[in-house]
Amino acid sequence: MDIDKVFHMKGGLGDTSYSKNSSLQKRAADKVKHITEETIKQMYLAQRPKSLGIADLGCSSGPNTLSNIKQLVDAVENACYNTMHPTPEFRVYLNDLPTNDFNTIFQALPDFYKELKSGVCGPNIYIAAYPGTFYGRLFPDHCLHFVYSSNSLHWLSRVPPGIYDEQGESINKKSIYISERSSIKVSEAYLKQFQDDFSLFLQSRSRELISGGRMVLLFLGRSGPSHVDRRNSFFWEILYQSFALLVIEGEIEEEKLDSYDVQFFAPSKEELEDEVKKEGSFKVEQIEVFEIEKDGGDCPSYGMAVARAVRSIQESMIAHHFGLNDAVMNKLFDNYGRLLDQELAKDDIMSINTLLLLTKL
């Protein structure tokens, strides 16, 4: 599967779109926004650029994208006001894979610009899309001052090739991610793919950021050394069980399920620090590992809220692999929400999030 051509959040503004089902991601970003705002403020005061380059990597579409940008712009404007320094112009680069729904973002820009200009003299801001994978170069040398990425870097560039045998069949049958049933080879393959990808990410950003530039990276992670972390692998196990019910009902083939694996990895704090140290271009300023409280929002339950969020993220991959129509997709995620609520009634499980703050040396 060519992930660059297939993987994308569900576009548009419909009920199953990422735009309507990304409140869980926003809560994670909001919990650490004071760190994000202070980081860009400190970077600006240290550098004082007249033209400030900001990249949002894995921006997706929907309200979170422009909300994140406004948060960063407001933080710099406040720093300028407090120091009586002229506000810089803002060059904002929105990045995601080429199949991302950039049009939904562009359609929201007129109202966004009006909101920014609502004061006496709003900032000069120039927003552009840069489609492509962030596991490689995206921008010219030394054009960025600040890189932000929220809920993206846990997605790998591909399903690890090490989980396939010589015949090209998955050795991770009866699982779609690392589970208690997975062999040690599966864990090793996922870790190696993460190491390769994150190292390339760091190398690429080191060329694009100025010296002293900052990165705030927010993604799903683990709190301990075991790759079978119940607070993240658990959610994939429930999705596998939801698929298994469709197999029993004859909606999908068992062989199709046995050949489906996700391109996901939740790193531990130590794994992140090791890769940053090995690559050598950045200094770790801060790592925060935290949980997000369960809140179903407008959904009937927390399980259904998670089910809708996962669907808005995974539907493109699932539809491509299994060829499911809307009715079967609805059944799959109805199963997911119901099973998740049943499990959460027995065990209070919350996913782990990690914030990584880096400075370019």
**pLDDT grade for 119, boundaries at 50, 70 and 90:** low
66-78 pLDDT, tens per residue? 999 999 999 999 9
Mean pLDDT of 122-142: 95
88: Cα within 13 Å, side-chain hemisphere: 22
For residue 52, the 8-state DSSP code is E
Phi, psi dihedrals of residue 138, rounded to the nearest 5°? -125, -30
Give the C-alpha distances (Å, rounded to integers) separating 204 from 52, 141, 148, 154, 207.
19, 9, 14, 17, 6
Q: How far apart are CA 176 and CA 159, in angstroms?
A: 10
The CA distance from 59 to 94, in Å, is: 6
- Report pLDDT digits (tens) over 298-340: 777 889 999 999 999 999 999 999 999 999 999 999 999 999 9
Q: What is the DSSP string of 99-131?
A: TS-HHHHHHHHHHHHHHHTTSSSPPPEEEEEEE
Cβ-contact 125, 113 below 8 angstroms: yes
> What residues contact residue 237 under an 8 Å CB cut-off, 6+ apart?
175, 177, 179
DSSP letter assigned to residue 331: H
Model confidence pLDDT, tens digit, residues 80-115: 999 999 999 999 999 999 999 999 999 999 999 988
Would you say how long the chain is, in residues? 361
- With tokens 């909606």, the residue in question is 251
Pairing of strands 144-150, 209-220: parallel
Q: How many angstroms separate the CA atoms of 156 and 159, rounded? A: 7
Residue 320, H or E segment? helix 302-322
Burial class (CB in 10 A: 0-12, 13-18, 19+), 83: exposed
Radius of gyration in angstroms for the set of CA atoms belonging to the chain, rounded to a whole number? 21
Least confident of 213-227, 272-286, 339-353: 339-353
Q: Do 341 and 301 touch, CB atoms closer than 8 A?
A: yes
116 confidence band (pLDDT: 50, 70, 90): confident
Q: How far apart are CA 80 and CA 41, in angstroms?
A: 9
CA distance 347 to 72: 37
pTM score of the predicted model? 0.95
The whole-angstrom separation of Cα 319 and Cα 246 is: 14
